[in-house]
Structure formats: C-alpha cells, structure tokens
C-alpha cells in the first residue's frame, strides 16, 4: 500500500472519530511517510499532530513524532532551524517524562543524524544504565560507537580512541560487517595491516556486495603486498 493510500485510509478514520488522538496521530504519520512531498505536506502534518495533542496533551509519542518531523524537515531542506525546533519538542517530551525509553532512542537518533555522536552515545548509555534493554537501544549504542569511531578514522585523529569505541561496538554486535570493516580501517590507518586484513576478511564475508568494504579489502591487500 502506498503512502497516499495509507493516508486516505487514516483520513477516513479521522472523519469517523474526529476526537480520536490515535486516529489523528496515525493520519499525520501516514502523510509524513510521503517523504518526497514532506515540504508540501508539512503544514497539514503539523496541524494533525497538534489536533492529536489537543486530545492527549501529555502523550510523549506524539511529542516525539513532532520532533522527528522537524528533524526530517531539517534533513530535507538543510535548514538547521528545523533541528532547533526538534530539540524544543524533545525538551517538552522530557518535561513530561525524562526517563521515557522511546524518548532516549529518538533523541539518540536525532544526534546521530546530526553527527553529534558523543551526545548519542551518552543518551544511549544513560538509557541502558536505567535498565532499558530493548534491542533497538542496545544495537543503537553499537551503531553510535561505530559512527564515532568511523568519524575519527575519517579525520585521522584519536585512532586509539576509535579502536576502544569500535571494540565496544563489536562486543555488542560481534558479526556486523560494517562494524568489522570500521575496525579494519582504523587498523589500516595505524599501519597495522595484518590485523586489518583479519577484520576486513570477516567483514567481506558478512557484506560481500558492500562497495566500501570491497574497496577496503583491495586497499589492505595492496598494503600487505608492499610489506
């Protein structure tokens, strides 16, 4: 079913029960699913979310949906003002329940999208320290460690710190080709080619068609030939 068909279906639900919070929120989310027309539909989406909140003012999931919508607009338009609005809505949600599991995950995703990896890591580590064990939280932390480690690799700085982070990611998800490839890249940049080769071979088995991993394998093999 297409995004427009879903939106039509949920619009009918709103017409049947205009005071339904769930119908309003789901309708807005269905419209938002048409990412290609996000700018065109933005005002309508926000109106429906606001109507949903008028039915349930303290519904955290709706606050998060609004924050996410602003984040998506920032991605779509490259206008950072939308990110500021997203953070304002996250703050409103935090004012209702600062220890909400869904909120931790959503905010971590926001920080990752905006390449604020340290903040994403802190948010997810805090969630786990509070006892949240949802697989999305745990896997998200591994991915955030990988994001930060990869950014250090790209910058060519603090590579030892990058290795510490990627080892934490591997401890959480031992068999992820992309994470293993990041460790290989860090080791390669540190001149530890044989170790890098061990990890890139594991990565290519898991992700045989990934273009960057294939390129990394070639790069490391060429370095080994020159030893």
Q: What is the pLDDT of residues 99-115, one digit of tens each?
A: 999 999 999 999 999 99
Burial of 118 (0-12, 13-18, 19+ CB in 10 A): exposed
Domain range holding 52? Answer: 1-98
Q: Note whether residue 35 is domain-resident.
A: yes
Nearest-10 Cα torsion for 199, 204, 207, 212: 90
Residue 170 pLDDT more than 60? yes
Contacts of 62 (CB under 8 A, 6+ apart): 21, 25, 49, 52, 53, 56
- For residue 65, pLDDT over 90 is answered with yes
DSSP string over 16-68: H-TT-HHHHHHHHHHHHT-GGGHHHHHHHHHHHHHHHHHHSTT-HHHHHHHHH
pTM exceeding 0.85 = yes
Q: What is the pLDDT of residue 14?
A: 54
Q: Report the chain's mean pLDDT, rounded to a whole number.
A: 93
* Whether residue 17 has pLDDT greater than 60: no
Does residue 159 belong to any structural domain of this protein? no
- Taking the C-alpha atoms of residue 16 and residue 184, their distance in angstroms, rounded to an integer, is 56
* Predicted local distance difference test score (pLDDT) of residue 5: 61
The phi, psi pair for 191, rounded to 5°, reads: 80, 15
Residues in contact with 181: Cβ distance below 8 Å, sequence separation at least 6, in sequence order: 199, 200, 203, 207, 210, 212, 213, 216
pLDDT per residue as tens digits for the range 190-224: 999 999 999 999 999 999 999 999 999 999 999 99
Residue 143 inside a domain? The answer is no
CATH number at residue 2: 1.25.40.10
Q: Would you say residue 16 lies in a domain?
A: yes
How far apart, in whole angstroms, are the C-alpha atoms of residue 205 and residue 172?
19
Structural domain tally of the chain? Answer: 1
């Amino acid at each position: 079913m297409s995004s427009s068909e879903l939106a039509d279906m949920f619009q009918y639900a709103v017409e049947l029960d205009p005071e339904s919070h769930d119908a309003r929120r789901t309708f807005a989310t269905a419209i938002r699913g048409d990412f290609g027309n996000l700018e065109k539909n933005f005002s309508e989406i926000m109106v429906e979310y606001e109507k949903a909140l008028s039915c349930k003012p303290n519904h955290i999931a709706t606050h998060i949906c609004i924050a996410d919508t602003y984040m998506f607009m920032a991605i779509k338009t490259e206008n950072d003002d939308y990110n500021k609005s997203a953070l304002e809505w996250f703050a409103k949600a935090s004012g209702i329940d600062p220890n909400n599991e869904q909120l931790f995950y959503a905010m971590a995703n926001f920080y990752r999208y905006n390449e604020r990896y340290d903040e994403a890591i802190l948010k997810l580590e805090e969630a786990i320290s509070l006892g949240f064990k949802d697989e999305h939280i745990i896997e998200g932390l591994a991915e955030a460690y990988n994001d930060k480690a990869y950014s250090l690799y790209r910058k060519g700085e603090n590579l030892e710190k990058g290795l510490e982070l990627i080892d934490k990611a591997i401890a959480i998800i031992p068999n992820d080709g992309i994470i293993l490839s990041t460790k290989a890249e860090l080791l390669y940049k540190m001149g530890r080619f044989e170790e890098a080769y061990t990890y890139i071979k594991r990565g290519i088995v898991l992700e045989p068609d990934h273009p960057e991993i294939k390129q990394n394998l070639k790069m490391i093999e060429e370095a080994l030939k020159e030893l």
